[in-house]
Chains A and B, each alone.
Chain A
């Protein structure tokens, strides 16, 4: 209890309040933006996921109907899950392996190194839409340059984006073409490895291969972990490329990725309630996968210091 009218403490309290208010005022652009444009839509989507909201008209509470429909009655949902898991399971590990290989190359002594670094990073700079258009053109069956080349070599010419079996591999190729982004991160990780460890290994008689396997890779694991988690989340949220390559889900829905199907439900079919439920399922799934990966880190991630 504070006595009313005691000058010192009252002024102090008021100054403190003022300070807090002033602070809040300064962060208010962010605060308002966060509460209004992020937190509110997030919470609203949770609410809508339990309704039959269709953008026009009022939402009605339907309990877990959307979730039940997703898991029990919607074969396309499972198609999208399978497509996404396949894409993640192939493109992420391949991206890690190729990313590390290229980073090791770039870390070695090569003439014109900065030129190569620029070139490897270049594909990352190309916006998604032209990149996909380019890919689609390269892989055009019968008249595209890739199939022309394959034909000249006497190899079979796949239908690529027109063939349900080859559409996903085509997009995986595209994903690997943009591996330069993670290469830069691996390079930073490589340069973080203390030279003393290599010297020690060399003195112990370790060759290039052994130094790579016993020094470089273990000490690169924190970077691998980072790229793995970011890559997996990116794969689960894969959307723009699939949308450009086949807005309707590609041949026989072979490019119907989770987020593309979510988008179709929300903005083509106006099933906003169902789409919200899908978004929350994805969030929970990504959370579980990420936590599971972090659980295992004790066994394979080594920190230099």
Chain B
């Protein structure tokens, strides 16, 4: 009996250790985390759990259901720099450019004099995930100009705002106004949740639809009417480690696919745990788009009836893109562009494709790790140049009972000088977003805190969105999920890029046919 007890004790101790081990190691981890600084924190997060928060920075894989002309920005010739040159040389002989531009701005006190001011105090609501000093300052300025209009701020997160708004609309409690992902505008407009802003825009001095960069205007347009005011935007670009480039003897960021591949190969040194690129299966379909467009491919035919992912162009793009897995750390296949930013900051990955938000991460929380060893460049081009875009818009909900007051508020925010203020941010927290207005993009004030953003401003005119002029079917998200899954399988090496495109086309077409009642 005594022996038995001792054996039992032994087992009990072993089992205890097994059960406690995770807790003990965790305690150790939290200690190193405190001393280790910024690097430890993100690594301790599970790979996919923060995937939700990725939405904050990166648009979700269900790409914006918006449209853009195939020829990006019709007025590309009279692009940002050209438009800016006119007022600068025309208006002032002396004084800095910023002041010159300011002269051109409409007076904030009378942006739309023909729209009546409320006679008695009204309160309108504004739902957003943007807070901070800049917005508060803008609001106090607004309230001084419109003492009868009080704005109540409703906080949401970029993760949950779409769900929250959907529930609010269904329950008849929609806010008066909101700051939303530009990709949601058409969807909400399609559900009759938004106010057509055209009549207001016609009376306003603050908003000039032709001044918006085309792709952003199209994202805010539904059936030919504007349902949103584009407020900020960003493009996808190429971030690279200048130190690793130098060490590998690469003199400039790649401009073509061939250069990109050659650089990725040179930069990949598994023995040093260093890779040229990082590819992410959970975001595969989203980041595939740039390459697809660059190769001259399309997602969906112009009439919206055919999935065109099995064309030679699309297959070529898929083959190239999936082929980059060889130069990417397998550990990160299931990560995403937000979680994996540590890998770039610590020099494990030398080239990284992400939105301009990534610059904010490297210049802010990761400055200690990455120092000044990074820069950004436009994405390489193939047959043509193209890149994804994202952004946010201001909208008014059709359930609003104070539409005129609601308009006054979003119009005030959308006035060019306020868009500029908002997008510049502050020295402590510089913005990484750009105002999608051609007349503002040339303003040097935009780049004083974050010069690298000039690279992204240049890419706004090559920005594209899925559909490229087609109204996407409501089942599009399902099709995109399938493309994402198929590309994921190819990234994990379970099928070829060619098979992935074949499968995605076949399954996507079946969904498209069903949704159109064929």
Residues of B in contact (CB 8 Å), total 53
Shortest Cβ distance from A190 into chain B, in angstroms?
Answer: 14
Q: Would B166 and A136 count as touching, CB distance under 8 A? A: no
Residues of A within 8 A of B16 (CB): 116, 119-120
A286 at the interface (CB under 8 A from B): no
A108 at the interface (CB under 8 A from B): yes
Q: Which of B11, B15, B61, B489 contacts A120 (CB 8 A)?
A: B15
B residues 442-484 near A (Cβ < 8 Å) are: 477-478, 481
Residues of A within 8 A of B61 (CB): 248
Q: Is the interface of B mostly helix, strand, loop or mixed?
A: helix
Q: Would A122 and B49 count as touching, CB distance under 8 A? A: no
- Closest chain A residue to B330 by CB distance? A159
The answer for the CA separation of A250 and B49 in the assembled complex, in Å, is 9
Q: Would B19 and A177 count as touching, CB distance under 8 A? A: yes
B residues 1-55 near A (Cβ < 8 Å) are: 1, 4-5, 8-9, 11-12, 15-16, 19-20, 22-23, 25-26, 29, 43-49, 51-52
Residues of B within 8 A of A135 (CB): 22, 46
Q: Would A137 and B281 count as touching, CB distance under 8 A? A: no
Shortest Cβ distance from A128 into chain B, in angstroms?
Answer: 11
Q: Would B48 and A122 count as touching, CB distance under 8 A? A: no
The answer for the CA separation of A91 and B335 in the assembled complex, in Å, is 26
Shortest Cβ distance from B132 into chain A, in angstroms?
Answer: 27
Q: Would B48 and A246 count as touching, CB distance under 8 A? A: yes
- 0/1 interface trace, chain A 243-286, chain B, CB 8 Å (1 if under): 01111101111000000000000010110000000000000000
Residues of A within 8 A of B11 (CB): 105
The answer for the CA separation of A158 and B21 in the assembled complex, in Å, is 19
The answer for the CA separation of A159 and B47 in the assembled complex, in Å, is 11
- 0/1 interface trace, chain A 14-42, chain B, CB 8 Å (1 if under): 00000000000000000000000000000
B170 at the interface (CB under 8 A from A): yes
Which of A43-51, A139-147, A226-234 forms contacts with chain B?
Answer: A139-147
Q: Would A250 and B334 count as touching, CB distance under 8 A? A: yes
Q: Would B44 and A137 count as touching, CB distance under 8 A? A: yes
Q: Would A109 and B492 count as touching, CB distance under 8 A? A: no
Q: Would B46 and A245 count as touching, CB distance under 8 A? A: yes
Residues of B within 8 A of A197 (CB): none
Q: Would A252 and B489 count as touching, CB distance under 8 A? A: yes
Residues of A within 8 A of B492 (CB): 164, 251-252
B144 at the interface (CB under 8 A from A): no
B382 at the interface (CB under 8 A from A): no
Q: Would B49 and A133 count as touching, CB distance under 8 A? A: yes
- 0/1 interface trace, chain B 36-78, chain A, CB 8 Å (1 if under): 0000000111111101100000000100000000000000000
- Beyond A56-B170, A135-B22, A159-B330, whether A252 also contacts B48 by CB under 8 A is no
Shortest Cβ distance from A292 into chain B, in angstroms?
Answer: 33
The answer for the CA separation of A143 and B42 in the assembled complex, in Å, is 13
A216 at the interface (CB under 8 A from B): no
A219 at the interface (CB under 8 A from B): no
Q: Would B478 and A269 count as touching, CB distance under 8 A? A: yes
Shortest Cβ distance from A61 into chain B, in angstroms?
Answer: 16
Q: Would B19 and A143 count as touching, CB distance under 8 A? A: no
Residues of B within 8 A of A163 (CB): 334
- Closest chain A residue to B491 by CB distance? A252
Q: Would B331 and A162 count as touching, CB distance under 8 A? A: yes
Looking at A76, A106, A133, A248, the one whose CB has the most chain B CB atoms below 10 A away is A248
Residues of A in contact (CB 8 Å), total 50
- Closest chain B residue to A119 by CB distance? B16
B169 at the interface (CB under 8 A from A): yes
Q: Would A120 and B19 count as touching, CB distance under 8 A? A: yes
B333 at the interface (CB under 8 A from A): yes
A208 at the interface (CB under 8 A from B): yes
A73 at the interface (CB under 8 A from B): yes
The answer for the CA separation of A137 and B510 in the assembled complex, in Å, is 40
Looking at A55, A110, A116, A123, the one whose CB has the most chain B CB atoms below 10 A away is A110
Q: Which of A56, A105, A109, A245 contacts B49 (CB 8 A)?
A: A245
- Beyond A132-B49, A252-B488, whether A137 also contacts B166 by CB under 8 A is no
A102 at the interface (CB under 8 A from B): yes
Shortest Cβ distance from A133 into chain B, in angstroms?
Answer: 5
Residues of B within 8 A of A122 (CB): 19-20, 23
A57 at the interface (CB under 8 A from B): yes
Q: Would A162 and B47 count as touching, CB distance under 8 A? A: yes
B514 at the interface (CB under 8 A from A): yes
A134 at the interface (CB under 8 A from B): yes
A residues 140-194 near B (Cβ < 8 Å) are: 140-143, 145, 159, 161-164, 177, 180
The answer for the CA separation of A253 and B332 in the assembled complex, in Å, is 16
Q: Would B25 and A116 count as touching, CB distance under 8 A? A: no
Q: Which of B23, B49, B507 contacts A136 (CB 8 A)?
A: B49
Q: Would B331 and A73 count as touching, CB distance under 8 A? A: no
- Beyond A108-B5, A133-B45, A252-B492, whether A116 also contacts B12 by CB under 8 A is yes
B276 at the interface (CB under 8 A from A): no
The answer for the CA separation of A48 and B169 in the assembled complex, in Å, is 19
Q: Would A109 and B5 count as touching, CB distance under 8 A? A: yes
The answer for the CA separation of A110 and B5 in the assembled complex, in Å, is 6
- 0/1 interface trace, chain A 58-102, chain B, CB 8 Å (1 if under): 000000000000000101100000000000000000000000001
The answer for the CA separation of A279 and B218 in the assembled complex, in Å, is 38
A215 at the interface (CB under 8 A from B): no
- 0/1 interface trace, chain B 481-509, chain A, CB 8 Å (1 if under): 10001001100101000000000000100
- Beyond A55-B166, A177-B22, A269-B477, whether A133 also contacts B46 by CB under 8 A is yes
Q: Would A119 and B19 count as touching, CB distance under 8 A? A: yes
Q: Would A245 and B19 count as touching, CB distance under 8 A? A: no
Shortest Cβ distance from A114 into chain B, in angstroms?
Answer: 12
Residues of A within 8 A of B510 (CB): 73
Kindly list 12 other residue pairs between chains A and B, CB separation below 8 angstroms, not including A106-B12, A111-B9.
Answer: A105-B15, A109-B5, A123-B19, A133-B46, A140-B47, A161-B334, A245-B46, A245-B48, A245-B49, A248-B48, A251-B333, A251-B492
Which 10 pairs, one residue from A and one from B, show the smallest C-beta to C-beta distance?
A136-B46, A246-B48, A162-B334, A251-B334, A141-B331, A108-B8, A56-B191, A137-B44, A110-B8, A247-B51
12 A-B interface contacts by CB (under 8 A): A57-B191, A116-B12, A120-B15, A120-B16, A123-B19, A123-B23, A133-B49, A136-B49, A137-B46, A246-B49, A253-B485, A270-B166
Interface residues of A (CB under 8 A from B): 55-57, 73, 75-76, 102, 105-106, 108-111, 116, 119-120, 122-123, 132-138, 140-143, 145, 159, 161-164, 177, 180, 208, 244-248, 250-253, 267, 269-270
